[in-house]
Amino acid sequence: MTLRPLDYDPARFRSLLECRTAVERAQVRLRGWYFPHLSHKPEDQEAGNGYIAVGTDWSGQLEYWRFYLSGQFLGLYAVRETTEDGWSEKLRKTARAHYGPQAVLVENYFDMTNFLYNVTELYEFASRLCQQGSYEGALEIGLQLVNSAGFGLMAGPMRSWSESYTLSSDDLSYRVVLDCADLVSGGPEPSLTACVWFFERFGWLDAPLEVLRGDVQKFLDGKV
């Protein structure tokens, strides 16, 4: 995950303390694990030459992010569905319930709802940085999936889900440039557009936009 202001300024923030304060103010707290995660353990924190960073390996949550004086954000995240104990097996059981006992299942799945939430958190974080004045003008948002060929996409057991959607590409990169004003006023649309782009690469070409839009909006409203 990346955020990059197009008007590059190596000293957008005057100090690393300002960097951390900006992250704290813009942090997205819509579920139990906040985005970006701000660990207070000294061993998880890093102050580099022009950036702050936090690395976390806790209970299946494996991530590392940097926020630079220039305002660039870089986040590396493991697929939590594969690193959290029991999640992969739970998704395979859900797949059997959807497809039937004779279905051929893949080893790993992305949880469709968690995918929506992850992307939405990045966009909401970017929007909050815009609102507090950390970003102005145009902003590039980037999302990349690597080493994910063969992963399936799976919905929860309460949803209708009869088709198998599997990723064939091992490296997917999505980039979009948005004006800060459009990002702030766009509601769920910018993140929804990004999610649908990825879902199509799994082969899910007719995703129900209104249903997904409602899921994202409920998440943003803190109703999940």
Overall domain count for the chain: 1
pTM for the full predicted model: 0.94
Beta strand 51-58 with 61-68 is antiparallel
**pLDDT band with cut points at 50, 70 and 90 for residue 29:** very high
Nearest to 128 by CA among 51, 73, 75, 66: 73
Residue-wise DSSP of 5-48: ESS--TTSSSSHHHHHHHHHHH-B-SSSS-BS-----GGGEEE-
Q: Could you report the per-residue pLDDT of 175-185, keeping only the tens digit for each?
A: 999 999 999 99
**pLDDT band with cut points at 50, 70 and 90 for residue 172:** very high
> For residue 202, what are the CA distances in angstroms to 113, 172, 179, 197?
15, 11, 28, 9
Within its chain, how far is the Cα of 179 from the centroid?
Answer: 20
- Domain hosting 148: range is 2-220
- Cis, peptide link before residue 36, omega less than 30° from 0: yes
